[in-house]
């Protein structure tokens, strides 16, 4: 199962990707397994040499007695040297960390995090034009075969 943040690749130019574990509670894991998660407005925040996933909406599990906030901050599990290098790149180059997708590896959920630079409006239009041209070319080729 893979949950993709479709806004990430449209709004940001992804320069580098990392795999991070995510600290979830039991009821949150059950909700994520059912696919009740939204990464659209989420971002990653570095604080005190730790990374947190902020504003990711995990719908509360119906049967659970836990009444957690759906958008609470969740700790990301990265190696210390990765955190230090990310903090340096963010501070010096003006980059940001964006969640790209969430998937499971066995029984463990992983978050794919991208080191990204924000796109300007004209960049977004240009990438949309390229995407449309590729789609049209694919349709033409499919029609000829």
Q: Which CATH number fits domain 2-119: 3.50.50.60, 3.40.1160.10, 3.40.190.10, 2.40.280.10?
A: 2.40.280.10
- What's the 3-state SS for 9-24? HHHEEEEEEEEEEECC
Query: First and final CA of the chain: distance in angstroms?
Result: 33
pTM: predicted TM-score of the whole model, two decimal places: 0.76
pLDDT tens readout for residues 12-36: 888 989 899 998 888 888 888 888 8
pLDDT tens-digit profile of 73-124? 889 999 999 999 888 888 888 888 999 999 988 888 899 999 988 878 777 7
Phi, psi of 64 (to 5 degrees): -70, 145
Domain boundaries, the chain: 2-119
User: CA 141 to CA 135: how far, in whole Å?
Assistant: 10
- Tokens 């990310």 correspond to 86
């Amino acid at each position: 199962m893979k949950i993709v943040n479709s806004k990430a690749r449209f709004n940001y130019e992804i320069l580098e990707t990392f795999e991070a574990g995510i600290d979830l509670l039991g009821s949150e894991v059950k909700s994520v397994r059912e696919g009740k998660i939204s990464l659209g407005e989420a971002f990653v925040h570095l604080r005190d040499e730790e990374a947190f996933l902020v504003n990711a909406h995990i719908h509360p599990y119906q049967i659970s007695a836990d009444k957690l906030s759906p958008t609470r901050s969740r700790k990301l599990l990265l190696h210390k040297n990765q955190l230090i290098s990310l903090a340096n790149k963010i501070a010096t180059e003006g980059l940001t960390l964006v969640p790209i997708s969430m998937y499971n590896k066995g029984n463990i959920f992983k978050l794919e995090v991208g080191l990204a630079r924000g796109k300007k409006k004209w960049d977004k239009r240009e990438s949309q034009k390229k995407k449309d041209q590729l789609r049209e070319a694919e349709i033409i080729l499919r029609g000829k075969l």
